Each structure stands twice: as structure tokens, then as C-alpha cells.
Amino acid sequence: MKYDVNIDLEGYKEEYSFGKVARQSNGAAWLKCGDTVLLATVVIDDTQIVDDDFLPLTVQYIEKSYAAGKIPGGFFKRESKPNDFETLTSRIVDRSLRPLFPKGYGYPTQITVMVFSADKEVDLQRLALNAASAALYVSDIDINTSVSAIRAAKINGELVLNPTMSQLASSSLDLYLSGTKEDLLMIEMRSMGTEEFESAVPLDPLMDPMLSAPLITKHTSNALNEDELVLILEKTQKLLFQNNVKYEASFNEFKKVVKPIKCRESRVSEEMVAYVRENFLQEIKNGINQMAKTERSTALREIREKIIAIKTDWDVLELKEAIEAVKKEQVRSQILDSRIRADGRGLSQIRPISISTNVLPKAHSSCLFTRGETQALVVLTMGGAKDAQMYENLTDDGSQNEYFMVHYNFPGFSVGEASPITGTKRRELGHGNLAKRALEPIINLDGQTVRIVSEILESNGSSSMATVCGGYMALKAADLPTSDVIAGIAMGLVSDGGRYAILSDIMGLEDHDGDMDFKVAGSKDGITAMQMDIKLGGISLDILKEALYQAKAGRNHIIDIMLEAQREIEFNDGVLPSTDFFHIDPSFIGDIIGQAGKTIREIIEKFGVSIDIDKKEGKVKVTGKSKSGVKAAREHIEGIANAPKVPKIDYKVGDRYTGIVKKIVDFGAFIELPDGTDGLIHISKLSDQRVDKVSDILKEGDKIDVEIIEFKGNKISLSRA
């Protein structure tokens, strides 16, 4: 393949070819980067125009197994339904390119990105967007703006832009940005590890403008603090803008002649809008200020019925759109002029929250999280390592296991729709993935598998963030350890170009009529996951920074409520599995396992537990369906481990020997005596002076003179001779 354009970018090169393949599409781009090859195509159906007020755009990202030299696994040797990575990548491309299309564009449009060759070090999500944008830019659709992506990582404290996939695996940050040469359009971010950072107290200077000499404190957190995130965005956005200038300059000569496309005319009748505004504005104000979503809908429907009774020749659908237009005007003007929202809240006010834990007696744990008219029933189930979800990405050498899963379900009844429950939709997969990214940094499963399922029972704004909050509470209701408290909040924006208002905890009305949907999840220290979509063409970093701090204040408010609810948790002890970790002397593992595994099988059957033993380190993990069974199994194992072998030498109190330090523990050291028998020297018997740590005095393998001071059964207690 001869390449028409080679573009040098930050740390790598992209090679594009146009007009050589897929020539019957409206636009196509063949992209090579490293050993990765993708084809992106754009096709429009200009024989019809969709009459409804939405953009009929479909994006499909498709990976071919042959791209990595593989044959599909399973019974059918053909690619079938898209995997999670393909679906999530399709969503990223869709959300980034959708803002480019002009208002009223109604032609069904299909963008397809296919991976023909896959280099395991190349970022396929970033290239997928770049290739799709290139195909759209050179197509005969009248779109003259390039969109591209940049991924930022943080490795050993250093910012790395467009990392390789190996570098990303060792990063504490995964930040994906897309935008044009002028505007930032979308952000996806997740924290991937622990970071130590310094911050001023308070973190938000807007909260205390008189603070002249802030106290600097050190934090260790799984989250990224807001100040550092803004600095990273500033650097990344600058390069993003520069890249799009390069793309447009390189692609201009390959643009096709633009075909005439007629955009759908607005069906909003100015006559109807004027009539509604003049005669029913106050009723619309009263209607949108109803507290409940259903009440607002009923009020607007009654207004429509009143008008139709007067204007009998008016079209009902046109009138509905006119009322909708006036309603949107009023929602936005009330926020910008009066700083009051449709439900009477201030701009930063959070809706009432109620939390009930373990409402399902037979589930391992559960939480019913309600915020305003958004309600999530979040249910947690624990399992062993064998319960993990197996998966294999295109460039993986073999299958991998997913030990932490978050599944999000959005049935129609949650928004009052009479629709059947079908398969998982892209939106459900995306929201579950966002909640997973928010919670994953704070848990250490240590061999367990945890599945969280969020059933959305009501939805009026940000059910994904309710899933984050309910997910954290379900973790605590299952008595699982976490390193921090995580909550989520959805932020909105209303702007008329000159003025703007940032909204905390947006409801559905504000999402629909506003200019931004900005979801932020994290702890009081910072952010673990974030997702932002801009509807007005872009956002300045100053506004974004203000939104981040306002989100932090709202998140802290929610966390305080969650901490109160956490104190009231009552565990489902009858069904909640229990896990215990402890250490034993590795020399006794053979006794615990027994001949041909007889002893350990008896323990498992007697106490109803599963047992994992690290033979080298002496680590023991006991898991069972009841705490009492796990406790009894531990006591039984420790009883075997604490019953040393019968000595070959007839030891007596007062005898002195030279032994070898076999194992150091917190409370002392096990000493191997001449015949291989072990004795314990307690930390208090190591020296005449206080010893804080045994390892300060002894090391494994050291020789030590000891005296036998006591027998307890077959246990030998020693002191230093």
C-alpha cells in the first residue's frame, strides 16, 4: 500500500492512504501506525431523511481475529457479537464525532472502523477515532473539522502523552481526550493506582479566598486531585489542538467535492412559540417548577390540551415542539437570571438522599440508594477465583480473568416507558464500565471475585453515579475492606455565550436542556473516574476547573451521608461468605494437607470451607459461607500447626543448645533445634532490653544459643542463652 500522507505526532507516526480502497463509500481512510492497520469508512443514505429530531448516526468498531494471528475461540469459528472493548470503543468514537454534524442533519449515516492488523503496543481506541475522523473529513459530507484523540498516562510521577500499551499498564492514570483544533469535546479518565501528592488545606482556594499561606500536607490516594488534573489537561489540550491543525493541513487535498445535503428544517412554528409564550408562559413556569418529573410532564400535557381546545386546526406534534421550545427557554433563563433551578434548588444544591443497606436478606449484600427521583438497587455477590469472567482482547497472548465486575441494567419502567427488557445496550455497558472504573482503585480482592449488579428502579438524572454510590455501600455491606470512600455526582452547564451556570447533581430536565453532562466520581482526596460530553462545541479550562471544585464539594456532601449510613449497616451473617487470612509455619503444611490430601479434605468437608495454601510463604486463605465455620477451620488448622513433631531428643527444661533461626514472626522467632524440632523464642525473651522488632536482632538462617524454659504439651518455649 502506497501512503499519501505521513504525519509525525508526539512520539509516533501515522500513515494515511485515501482513495485506494472502499471507493464506493462516501469517505474512507486506511491508517497504518506501527504494525497496526485500520480501515475507517463513512456511508450516508441520502435517499431518505429521518423526520424525528435526532441524529441517525451509527458507529461500529470491529476487530478481526486474524489481525493478531488468531482463530476465534469457541464452537463458531467466525466473529460474532462485539465484545465489551469493541462496544466501548464504538461509543467513544460516536460521542466524539456526533457534535460535528450540523443541526437538522437527518440522513442515516454509518461509520465503520475495522482492525485488519494489530500491534499490541499501539492504542487502538485512539487510532479508531483518528481514522474515523479522517474518513469523515475527506468524505463528500460538508464537515470541515478534524477531531482526534490523545491519551495521557502518569508513570513514576511523569506525564507521558500517547503511551504504548506496555507503558499504560504501569501508569497510575489513564486520561483519554478528544477534541478539535479549538474545542475540547470529550474526556474519559480513570485512576489506575496509588499516588502520593502534596496539597494545600483547603484543596479548593475558592472555598477560602483569604487563605494566604496554606498548610501543605502529604496524601497517599488512589485518586487524582483536581489541581493536578487541570495541569495535565492544560498540557494535553494544547497538543490536541496542534495535532488537529496538522491533520486538516494534511487532509485538505484529498477532500471530495461536497454533495448538496438538505438539512431538516425545524418544525418549531414561530407562530405557535409566540402564542405559547404570550398566553401560557406563567403556566409553563409553574409546570416546570413542579418537584416531581411526572407532575411536570402532566402539567405540560394539560397546557397542550388547553391550547388544542382553542386552536383546533393546529398540529398536535408541532404544538408539542413549540411548548418544548418555550419550556427550554424558561428552564435556561431561570437558571441564568435567577440562579434557581426547575425543582427550586440552588445551583450547587444536592437532592435529598436516602440509603438502606442489606434490604435483600438472601443476597450477600445490597443497597437501595435514592437521590431525588433517581433510585438504584445495587446488589453484590462474592465468589472464588473460579467465578471470574474470562475474556481475551485482540492482542492478548491468552485469556485473562476479570475478578471485579459491575453490571448496570436500565429497564424501561425506570422512566415510565412500556418497553420490554431485552439484551444489554451500549449505554448500559458504558455506565457499568464507568462505575467499575470509579470503584476498582479502592478494593483489593486478594483472590476473590466480586460481581456488583445495579438495577435502576427510577431514573431522573445520573443513575450511573447512583450506581457508584450504591456500589460502594454494597461493598461495605458485604464487609469488604476498601482504602477510601467513593461517591459520584453528575454536573451540568447552562451557557448563553456570555453567562454560564454550573449545576450540581443534574436531573433529566437539565441534562436534556443543558449544555454539558459531566460525571465525576472519587473520594475526598480526588477523582477516580470521570466522563464528560460537551453539547455546545467545547468548554474552557477555567469553567472546567470551577466545575471540578463544585463537583468536589457536592461529592464530599454525599460521602458524609454515606458514612452516616455505613455506621448503621447490619450484615447478612446467615448468607454472607467469610474469608480469613493467616500465616502458619511452612514446615507444618504437609501435616495440614495430609497423606494424599486426606487431612485437608476432611477439614473442608467438616467446616464447609475452601482452603488455599501458599506452601512457600505459609499463607493460608479460608473461605466459607459462615463466619463460624471459617473461624472453626482456622482454629483447627492452627491447632495442627501449633502441635510440633515429637522430638527425637529427650529435651529437658534448662538444657542449652545452638539452634538456627527458621522463621521470624511479629511475636518472636521459630528456632530449629539439633534434631529438627522447632521451638519458639518469644520477643520478650530475646534480650534484657525492650525489642520492638525481631528482625532488628535476628535474621532467618542465623545461629543462636538458646535455653529450654518450658514445655506445653509438645510445644517448646525458649529463651536466649
> How far apart, in whole angstroms, are the C-alpha atoms of residue 380 and residue 360?
10
pLDDT class of 559 with cuts at 50, 70, 90: very high
The pLDDT, as a whole number, for residue 537 is 61
The pLDDT, as a whole number, for residue 434 is 95
Please say whether the beta carbons of 366 and 359 come within 8 A. yes
> How far apart, in whole angstroms, are the C-alpha atoms of residue 470 and residue 473?
5
> How far apart, in whole angstroms, are the C-alpha atoms of residue 656 and residue 329?
93
Question: Of the spans 144-153, 255-264, 416-425, 566-575, which averages the highest pLDDT?
Answer: 144-153
Please say whether the beta carbons of 677 and 645 come within 8 A. yes
201-229 tens-digit pLDDT: 333 333 333 333 333 334 445 788 998 99
| Weakest-pLDDT range from 3-7, 328-332, 641-645 | 641-645
402-444 tens-digit pLDDT: 999 999 999 999 988 888 988 889 999 999 999 999 999 999 8
Question: Residue 185: is its pLDDT beyond 70?
Answer: yes
> How far apart, in whole angstroms, are the C-alpha atoms of residue 662 and residue 586?
10
Question: Of the spans 33-47, 263-277, 327-341, which averages the highest pLDDT?
Answer: 33-47
The pLDDT, as a whole number, for residue 608 is 86
Question: Which residues pair with residue 42 across a beta bridge?
Answer: 27, 111
Cα–Cα distances in angstroms (integers) from residue 126 to residues 175, 176, 590, 713, in the given order: 11, 8, 52, 67
Question: Residue 298: is its pLDDT beyond 60?
Answer: yes
What would the mean pLDDT of 298-327 be, rounded to a whole number?
88
pLDDT class of 644 with cuts at 50, 70, 90: low
**More confident site: 535 or 383:** 383
> How far apart, in whole angstroms, are the C-alpha atoms of residue 220 and residue 194?
7
The pLDDT, as a whole number, for residue 212 is 35
Q: Which of 84, 78, 81, 74 is nearest to 66 (CA)?
A: 78
Please say whether the beta carbons of 467 and 459 come within 8 A. no
The pLDDT, as a whole number, for residue 213 is 36
What would the mean pLDDT of 254-263 be, rounded to a whole number?
88
Would residue 157 be called left, alpha or beta, if left means φ above 0 and alpha means ψ between -120 and 50 degrees? left
Question: Residue 316: is its pLDDT beyond 60?
Answer: yes
pLDDT class of 482 with cuts at 50, 70, 90: very high
For the chain, what's the residue count?
721
The domains located in the chain, with CATH, are: 5-254 (3.30.230.70), 270-338 (1.10.10), 353-566 (3.30.230.70), 578-641 (3.30.1370.10), 656-720 (2.40.50.140)
Query: What is the three-class DSSP state of 544?
Result: helix
In percent, the amount of the chain with pLDDT more than 70 equals 94
Question: Residue 540: is its pLDDT beyond 50?
Answer: yes
The pLDDT, as a whole number, for residue 536 is 60
Question: Which residues pair with residue 117 across a beta bridge?
Answer: 37
Q: Which residues contact 331 (CB under 8 A, 6 or more apart)?
A: 288, 342, 509, 510, 513
Question: Which residues pair with residue 716 across a beta bridge?
Answer: 711
Q: What is the 3-state secondary structure (H, E, C) of 609-678?
A: EEEEEECCCCEEEEEECCHHHHHHHHHHHHHHHCCCCCCCCCCCCCCEEEEEEEEEECCEEEEECCCCCE
**More confident site: 253 or 193:** 253
In the structure grid, which three cell numbers stand for residue 209, read together?
A: 479566598
What would the mean pLDDT of 564-573 be, rounded to a whole number?
93
The pLDDT, as a whole number, for residue 645 is 56
Tell how far CA 572 is from the center of its chain. Answer: 27
Query: What is the three-class DSSP state of 53?
Result: coil
